[in-house]
Amino acid sequence: MSNRTLTATELKQANSLLAETRLRLQDLSGGDPELLFAFRRKIYKELTYDERGKPTERAKLKAVKHALQGGRCAECGDEMPLRYSELDRKRAADGYSPENTELVHASCHQTRQALKNYA
Ligand SMILES: [Zn+2]
């Protein structure tokens, strides 16, 4: 299933919020480029966590899925080292949960994503 996209109106709202946020960051940093970098990085990191969860949570989920799948890729069925595996969400908006993810080889993940983008 493809991800929800924004309507034209929603896209304008998102771009407006982004412009406001950039201005606010500029203001907050008072012209200090190092401080602007640090503020921007903090906001970026926290928004990424909102969407993807924290890295430690994803690492725990990967270990659980690896055990549940018997150490095999959900795409090709071949053996898969945990270290080189990736979580693939069935529906991105539903986040990272055991029910909404499959563990796959990084290369199998790329193939899946390419197919989704061309579907
Ligand atoms: Zn695979």
Q: Tell me the per-residue pLDDT of 21-56, one tens digit each, with 9 for 90 and over.
A: 999 999 999 999 999 999 999 999 999 999 889 999
Ligand 1 centroid vs 56 CA: distance in angstroms? 23
Per-residue confidence (pLDDT) for residue 1, from 0 to 100: 57
Q: Where are the alpha helices (DSSP H) in the chain?
A: 8-29, 33-52, 55-68, 106-118
Residues 23 and 9: their CA atoms lie apart, in Å, by: 21
Q: Where are the alpha helices (DSSP H) in 30-105?
A: 33-52, 55-68
What are phi and psi for residue 40, nearest 5 degrees? Answer: -60, -45
- Summarize pLDDT for 8-20 with one digit per residue, the tens: 999 999 999 999 9
Ligand 1 centroid vs 73 CA: distance in angstroms? 5
Ligand 1 centroid vs 67 CA: distance in angstroms? 15
What would the two tokens of residue 95 be? 């986040």
**Spatial contact of 110 and 73, defined as CB atoms under 8 Å apart:** no
Ligand 1 centroid vs 34 CA: distance in angstroms? 42
DSSP secondary structure code for residue 83 in this structure: G
What would the two tokens of residue 31 be? 């012209």
Residues 107 and 104: their CA atoms lie apart, in Å, by: 8
Q: Look up the pTM and report it.
A: 0.77
- Sign of the dihedral through C-alpha 80, 82, 88, 94: positive
